[in-house]
């Protein structure tokens, strides 16, 4: 995020505010069609008081009616004969002005059709007209106690029982009334026909917290480092100086308590807050802590909610019934009024990057919404992204350091185990080192808990023939298929293609197939054999398929029902379990040797974050990292918890190659069924683009993408780097949207790409 980006946001907001004030006769409407343009419609006199910025309207387009959203109000239009708006939704406005400005900015910055940006800021259940509030019936007494006919208890005992309950308890939901009294719906209808009860319909709130009770908490006393950080947050909330604060606190330093007290301060001024978390797995624990402090004014927005729950939570926020919204990326667009603080927890996480158009980064868009809504943004992490750290070095962001754990608890001791040496000692390579086995046994004896981390799910990463070297690869993608033992199938983690495990090599028919590589399923199996007395649970996307599975597993782990928790990166950050005293990192090299310039940064962040799960209670924690690259600077810096040294070395490497954060990176990916055709089309595009780019832009490619084939489509990439994004996107946008791409070649543009896959 650059200063020019923030300036663009401010300019857009001021333009919108000036041009859209006062009564208007013409509405510019975006319809939910991929045509990247708006249409002008006449505002009928009868609807002039209801049509406003962000209104959801029904318009006549082509040969049918379409739903659209008002993005501009004007005095007049250049179009000579305008059609009128047909209807306007009574729930006005659907998109607040600041969110509408953010959506417009996203479309421009990320080179996406504006209707896709509008779609991104509204949850799918809210956009669909078919999704509505659930209705439920309530029954109220129309007679006073004892006013019904004598002998009713004998003639119609169920009717009498219903009346008695209503007279004692008052209006009751129909479903509760039938359950309590045993009466049927026909009994209640009979009473209504007689005029003895009244029935009314009301919207039923589908509460995602209905089964979760939390105990209220009070603000905790702060350490001096927390108090200093909080004072900086207070100043930002009160004065907008500084507008962005990086809260750089080691794991366990009490960042969440700073968040809570900062939000409480904003609420004393009548302001609201948004809290973003990178993983849905973190949401239950985070929500519980915030509900304990703020009660029912907390709302949650994420994809694990049912459609009905997302619909109702969004409307509860829009009505002003919630003041604190927690969730993943899309929670950033919550329709909160009087926004006073945006918090982005674990701001370094790549999961904040949206994979579909518009390919926005929620961390950067949070800064833009903060500028537009005139509220500060708090970025929290133990391992800042290099983009954020560079903004601190350049004085664009302020930084509050929290270098110590709460109550000065000691940071965990990290040991590096060289698996090459381990293999030499044992005569062969083992998945568990002797150091890790002994450490787990010690924790089981002391009734302490262990986390084992491996960022690869499945049982084995590939199936290989030792005779001819054949590897079972996905027929649609350029990767080997992963063996999943529980289903006895080979599965592609890119496209979902699955096959049964062959009895013999498909190439030479030799039956001596060998499983190579390790996934979490295999770690789980070996762990159960090595530690038969332990309760072992695996937590990855293969096991977390049921709703509330995250909450159930984490609840069992917190209560001590689980001794060893095995998982992927969903257990690597943000979770607080005081009885975890050991973390084992299996194959720390997995992310280190990926074909991506961010590989070292991600390895450092992942090791530091997962290590932070250990020793958060009274017992000092230990981390055992098993690796084949023990001398790499990312691993050595993580062992010493030395972010500055790592960042200095990595920033120097990036500057030499002109990679982010020293430059902005834009990646164009073309894909299609024909490898030659995709490559040729992208080369022709590059030949036309090159003369339009300035001297400060570096253009690389086209070249095969690191994942050269996915779902049967061959993939090629163009990569551009420049000091300012507009140096690339300015010349690119005109050519990209007007270029005659053939229908069998699909093109996607990723501005500020975080992954080169």
Q: Could you tell me the CATH number of the domain that includes residue 299?
A: 3.40.50.300
Q: In the prediction, which pLDDT does 543 show? A: 74
Domain-embedded: residue 212: no
Q: Which of 151, 172, 204 is the last residue of a domain?
A: 204
CB 623 within 8 A of CB 413: yes
Residues 294 and 375 in one domain: yes
Q: Between the CA of residue 202 and those of 7, 124, 136, 173, 286, what are the distances in Å?
A: 46, 23, 6, 10, 31
Residues 388 and 247 in one domain: yes
Q: Which of 388, 408, 428 is the last residue of a domain?
A: 408
Domain-embedded: residue 452: yes
Q: In the prediction, which pLDDT does 365 show? A: 98
Task: Name the burial class of residue 646, with classes exposed (0-12), middle (13-18) and buried (19+) by CB atoms within 10 angstroms of its CB.
Answer: buried
In this structure, what CATH number is given to the domain that contains residue 709? 3.30.70.600
Determine the 3-state secondary structure of 355 from DSSP: coil
Domain-embedded: residue 477: no
What's phi and psi for 211, nearest 5 deg?
-105, 10
pLDDT tens across 249-286, in order? Answer: 998 899 999 999 999 999 999 999 999 998 776 667 78
Residues 259 and 365 in one domain: yes
Domain-embedded: residue 280: yes
Domain-embedded: residue 483: no
Residues 294 and 371 in one domain: yes
Residues 403 and 271 in one domain: yes
What is the rounded distance in angstroms from the CA atom of residue 642 to the CA atom of residue 632? 14
Residues 6+ apart with CB under 8 A from 104: 12, 16, 71, 114, 117
Residues 605 and 692 in one domain: no
Range of the structural domain that residue 740 is part of:
664-751
Residues 271 and 379 in one domain: yes
Q: In the prediction, which pLDDT does 12 show? A: 41
Q: Which of 383, 408, 433 is the last residue of a domain?
A: 408
Q: In the prediction, which pLDDT does 467 show? A: 66
Residues 401 and 446 in one domain: no
CB 574 within 8 A of CB 286: yes
In what order do the strands lie in the sheet containing 664-672?
A: 698-710, 713-722, 664-672, 745-751
What is the rounded distance in angstroms from the CA atom of residue 660 to the CA atom of residue 723? 9
What's phi and psi for 414, nearest 5 deg?
-105, 125
User: What does the H/E/C string look like for 24-72?
Assistant: CCEEEEEECCCCCCCEEEECCHHHCCCCCCCCEEEEEECCEEEEEEEEE
- pLDDT averaged over every residue in the chain: 86
Residues 111 and 175 in one domain: no
Helices assigned H by DSSP within 95-183: 97-109, 114-121, 124-127, 152-155, 157-169, 174-181
Residues 532 and 649 in one domain: yes
Domain-embedded: residue 463: no
Residues of the chain with pLDDT under 70: 1-24, 129-131, 145-146, 281-283, 457-463, 465-467, 469, 479, 485-486, 493-495, 513-517, 545, 547, 573-574, 757
Helices assigned H by DSSP within 585-704: 599-611, 633-640, 643-657, 675-689
Residues 278 and 344 in one domain: yes
- Say how many domains are in the chain: 5
Predicted model pTM: 0.84
Paired tokens of 145: 């106690």
Residues 110 and 159 in one domain: no
In this structure, what CATH number is given to the domain that contains residue 165? 1.10.10
Domain-embedded: residue 468: no
Domain-embedded: residue 217: no
pLDDT tens across 222-233, in order? Answer: 999 999 999 999
In eight-state DSSP terms, residue 203 is: E
């Amino acid at each position: 995020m650059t200063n020019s980006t923030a300036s663009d946001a401010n300019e857009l907001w001021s333009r919108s505010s000036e041009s859209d004030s006062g009564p208007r006769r013409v509405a510019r409407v975006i319809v939910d069609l991929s045509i990247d343009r708006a249409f002008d419609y006449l505002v009928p006199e009868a609807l002039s008081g209801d049509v406003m910025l962000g209104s959801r309207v029904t318009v006549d387009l082509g040969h049918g009616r379409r739903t659209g959203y008002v993005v501009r109000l004007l005095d007049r239009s250049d179009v000579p004969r305008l059609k009128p708006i047909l209807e306007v939704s009574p729930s006005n406005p659907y998109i607040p002005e600041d969110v509408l400005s953010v959506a417009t900015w996203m479309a421009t910055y990320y080179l996406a059709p504006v209707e896709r940006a509008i779609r991104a800021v509204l949850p799918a259940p809210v956009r669909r007209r078919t999704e509505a509030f659930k209705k439920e019936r309530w029954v109220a007494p129309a007679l006073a106690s004892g006013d019904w006919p004598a002998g009713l208890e004998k003639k119609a005992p169920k009717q009498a029982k219903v009346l008695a309950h209503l007279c004692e308890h008052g209006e009751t939901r129909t479903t509760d009334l039938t359950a309590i009294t045993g009466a049927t719906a026909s009994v209640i209808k009979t009473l209504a026909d007689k005029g003895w009860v009244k029935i009314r319909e009301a919207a039923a709130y589908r509460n995602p917290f209905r089964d979760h009770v939390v105990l209220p908490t009070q603000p905790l006393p702060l350490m001096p480092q927390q108090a200093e950080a909080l004072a900086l947050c207070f100043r930002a909330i009160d004065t907008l100086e500084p507008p962005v604060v990086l809260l750089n606190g080691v794991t366990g330093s009490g960042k969440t308590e700073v968040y809570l007290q900062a939000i409480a301060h904003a609420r004393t001024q009548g302001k609201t807050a948004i809290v973003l978390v990178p993983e849905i797995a973190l949401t239950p624990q985070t929500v519980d802590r915030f509900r304990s402090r703020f009660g029912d004014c907390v709302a949650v927005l994420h994809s694990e909610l049912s459609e009905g729950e997302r619909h109702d939570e969004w409307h509860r926020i829009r009505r002003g019934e919630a003041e604190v919204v927690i969730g993943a990326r899309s929670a950033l667009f919550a329709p909160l009024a009087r926004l006073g603080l945006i918090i982005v927890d674990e701001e370094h996480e790549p999961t904040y990057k949206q994979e579909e158009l518009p390919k926005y980064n929620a961390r950067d868009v949070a800064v833009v919404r903060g500028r537009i809504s005139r509220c500060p943004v708090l970025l929290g992490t133990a391992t800042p992204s290099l983009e954020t750290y560079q903004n601190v070095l350049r004085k664009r962001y302020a930084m509050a350091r929290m270098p110590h754990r709460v109550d000065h608890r000691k940071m965990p001791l990290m040991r590096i185990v060289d698996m090459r040496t381990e293999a030499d000692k044992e005569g062969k390579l083992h998945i568990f080192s002797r150091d890790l086995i002994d450490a787990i046994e010690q924790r089981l004896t002391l009734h302490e808990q262990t986390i084992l981390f491996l960022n690869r799910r499945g049982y084995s990463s590939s199936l290989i023939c030792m005779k001819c070297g054949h590897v079972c690869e996905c027929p649609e993608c350029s990767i080997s298929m992963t063996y999943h033992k529980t289903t006895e199938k080979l599965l592609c983690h890119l496209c979902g293609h699955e096959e049964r495990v062959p009895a013999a090599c498909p190439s030479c028919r030799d039956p001596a197939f060998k499983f190579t590589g390790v996934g979490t399923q295999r770690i789980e199996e070996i762990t159960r054999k090595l530690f038969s007395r332990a309760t072992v649970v695996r937590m990855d996307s293969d096991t977390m398929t049921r709703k509330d599975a995250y909450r159930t597993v984490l609840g069992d782990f917190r209560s001590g029902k689980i001794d060893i928790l095995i998982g992927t990166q969903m257990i690597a950050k943000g979770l607080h379990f005081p009885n975890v005293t050991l973390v084992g990192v299996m194959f720390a090299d997995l992310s280190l040797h990926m074909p991506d310039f961010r590989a070292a940064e991600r390895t450092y962040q992942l090791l530091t974050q997962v290590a932070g799960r250990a020793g958060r209670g009274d017992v000092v924690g230990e981390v055992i990292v098993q690796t084949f690259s023990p001398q790499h600077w990312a691993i050595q810096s993580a062992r010493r918890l030395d972010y500055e040294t790592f960042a200095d070395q990595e920033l120097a490497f990036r500057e030499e190659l002109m990679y982010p954060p020293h430059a902005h990176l834009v990646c164009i990916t073309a894909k299609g069924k024909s490898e030659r055709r995709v490559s040729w089309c992208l080369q022709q595009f590059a030949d036309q683009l090159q003369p339009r780019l300035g001297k400060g832009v570096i253009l690389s490619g086209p070249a095969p993408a690191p994942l050269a084939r996915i779902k049967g489509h061959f993939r090629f990439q163009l990569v551009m780097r420049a000091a300012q994004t507009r140096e690339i996107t300015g010349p690119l946008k005109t050519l990209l949207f007007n270029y005659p791409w053939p229908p069998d070649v699909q093109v996607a543009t990723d501005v500020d790409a975080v992954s080169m896959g």
